[in-house]
Amino acid sequence: MKNGAPQISRAEWQVMKFIWKLGEPCSAQQVIDALSGPNEWSATTIKTLLSRLVQKGALSFKKEGRAYYYSAAISKAACLAAEADSFLDRVFDGSLTPLIAHFARGRGLRKKDIEELEALIRETRKP
């Protein structure tokens, strides 16, 4: 769990994005209704994803009667930071330069991108 956030799968990201977007506790049924159609997932699959996210500490839940209500236990920013760090470590051995070079060569840099990168470099050089 780097940066306090667990590693989550691509499917789990979809569940988390829905819950973050909603911004309030949501029932398992709400998650099922929102994600089953576009992903062709069964209710059982979605309940399994919810359960895994609870086990990983990404979600918390509250039971009311027969319904379960889920809330994000970690912020989207924490998950993004952990995922970005994991990607950088796995693919570019933790080095930013080859990452930036890859995207600069592959996708190109717009003038605005260059200006933002230059500003970032100036900012990080300040004592």
The pLDDT tens digits of the residues spanning 31-71 come to 999 999 888 999 999 999 999 999 999 999 999 999 999 99
d(C-alpha 78, C-alpha 35), whole Å: 23
Q: What's the total number of domains in the chain? A: 2
Residue 52 maps to a domain: yes
- C-alpha count within 13 angstroms, C-beta hemisphere, residue 40: 0
Q: Could you tell me if 101 and 65 lie in one domain?
A: no
Q: Could you tell me if 68 and 26 lie in one domain?
A: yes
Q: What is the pTM of this model?
A: 0.78
The residues facing 27 across adjacent strands are: 69
| CA distance between the termini of the chain | 31
CATH of the domain at 64: 1.10.10.10
Domain with 116, as residue range(s), is 95-127
* pLDDT value at residue 126: 77
Q: Could you tell me if 57 and 115 lie in one domain?
A: no
